[in-house]
Structure 1
Amino acid sequence: MKRLHAIVHGHVQGVYFRATTQDRAVQLSITGWVRNNADGTVEVIAEGSKDKLEVLHNFLLQGPPSARDSSVDVNWSDAAGTFYEFTVQR
């Protein structure tokens, strides 16, 4: 099991980015969270199998239809196993 920590830059707040990321993660049986940051980025921490996390990473590169991503910074590590579901942080 692996952990993906991503920071998504661009026009990603106010476009249902968090909700669609949660939907995709739940479909993939990935745990973790997504949140808006004060600097206008969206942050994601997700844990699951490497292949499912790569699917989520590809989604983050595109985002929902109204998003305009400029870049995604990603760090990979081993999963900590601390999550039980995928949530939207407020």
Structure 2
Amino acid sequence: MEGVVHTEFLEQGQTVNSERYYSTLRALKLRLRRVQRDKNSTLQHDNARPHTSRQTQDALRQLELTTLPHPAYSSDLAPSDYYLFPQLRKYLKGN
């Protein structure tokens, strides 16, 4: 799939915690149902605290969201760059 499926922004001064992330995951799941219908989707996760908490892991199982763990940090391995920098992605397409 190409393009952004779901975005959320926090008010200035707010931080992401497990509860906030859980509400985001629920909203994402609803959006995926509308956008993708019968397709499976995979959520790429890094090791940020809200992503690794027990509450989040339980939510992922409950919402039946498949996750792809983010590799350990490496300056030359950043899969998110392809989504953050669309022009780079277009330039590298097919290579």
| TM-score, structure 2 as length reference | 0.32
Q: Which has the higher helix share?
A: 2
| Relative contact order higher in (CA < 8 Å, ≥ 6 apart) | 1
TM-score, normalized by length of structure 1?
0.33
Higher-Rg structure is 2
